[in-house]
Amino acid sequence: MRATLAVEIWLAVAGRMSWIMSGTHEHKPAAAGDFTASDEPFALFAEWFGEAEASEPNDPNAMALATVDGDGLPNVRMVLLKGVDGADATPRGFVFYTNLESAKGRELAATRKAALCFHWKSLRRQVRVRGLVTPASDAEADAYFASRARGSRLGAWASAQSRPLESRFALEKAVAAITARYPIGEIPRPPHWSGFRITPLQIEFWHDRPFRLHDRLVFRRPDPATPWEKQRLYP
């Protein structure tokens, strides 16, 4: 009995030490309810995004955008989600805007595939998206561009995004030149600036649980016209 008890104590202590060494402490994550009962990923995303808007200290719409270059080497950077299509849209997707001549703009145009990851640290949740890329319409891009701050619209003209910049002064000089061109009135959308829509083929919802026994729920489909299939995953 004593030997058995000693082994149990040793395992408990060793296990606790391993959690400390790995930085994994026992905690109480935000309640997620039984989200695994959800059958429609866009509705679940809208619910989680609404909670993130109330919980995150800033930029709940920030998302990591992953692309690959011509050699298959991945690129990832943070961008801002600017729209999620409603139920009446075909196809439905996640929309953001950028310089089409930037590294991400060129890679998205070349591969027509991308991945997104939302991480809401305050809620201990992630949403991962993989899908097909299509351009946003001119009407969408025009409407969003017109809603941006004037300085941001001038900056879209001035910045040759992702290309070499000799100095900060050169950038400020380019902004000054564009400001002189459009001192008042409307600023048109640059032809090299527009948006992309990622239509998901896979959406995974991840919620933190103690001891890395997380909840994971993935929705998959082979193409946008096919109904979703849902499956739970091991953490």
Whole-number pLDDT of residue 90: 86
Q: Look up the CATH number of the domain holding residue 75.
A: 2.30.110.10
Both structure tokens of 225: 């016209």
Whole-number pLDDT of residue 178: 97
Whole-number pLDDT of residue 71: 96
- Residues 76-102, mean pLDDT to the nearest whole number: 95
Q: Judge whether 39 lies within some domain.
A: no
Q: Categorize the per-residue pLDDT at 28 as very low, low, confident or very high, splitting at 50, 70 and 90.
A: low
Q: Judge whether 180 lies within some domain.
A: no
- Residues 82-94, mean pLDDT to the nearest whole number: 93
Domain count, the chain: 1
Q: What does 20-80 look like in DSSP terms, one character per residue?
A: HHHT-----PPP--SGGG---HHHHHHHHHHHHHHH-SS-TTEEEEEEE-TTS-EEEEEEE
Q: Judge whether 5 lies within some domain.
A: no
Cβ-based neighbour number of residue 226 at 10 Å: 10
Both structure tokens of 113: 């595939």
Whole-number pLDDT of residue 32: 59
Whole-number pLDDT of residue 33: 66
User: For the CA atoms of 59, 101, 145, 141, what is the dihedral angle to 10 degrees?
Assistant: -100
User: With 0-12 CB in 10 A as exposed, 13-18 as middle and 19+ as buried, what is 205?
Assistant: buried
pLDDT tens profile 162-205: 999 999 999 999 999 999 999 999 999 999 999 999 999 999 99
Whole-angstrom Cα distance, residue 205 to residue 201?
14
Tell me the residue range of the domain where 88 lies. 59-148+194-233
Q: Judge whether 12 lies within some domain.
A: no
Q: Judge whether 160 lies within some domain.
A: no
Q: Judge whether 88 lies within some domain.
A: yes
Q: Judge whether 49 lies within some domain.
A: no
Q: What is the pTM of this model?
A: 0.85
Whole-angstrom Cα distance, residue 189 to residue 171?
19
Q: What is the mean pLDDT of the chain?
A: 89
For residue 3, pLDDT over 80 is answered with: no
Q: Judge whether 175 lies within some domain.
A: no
Q: Return the percentage of the chain with pLDDT > 90, whole number.
A: 81
DSSP one-letter code for 190: P
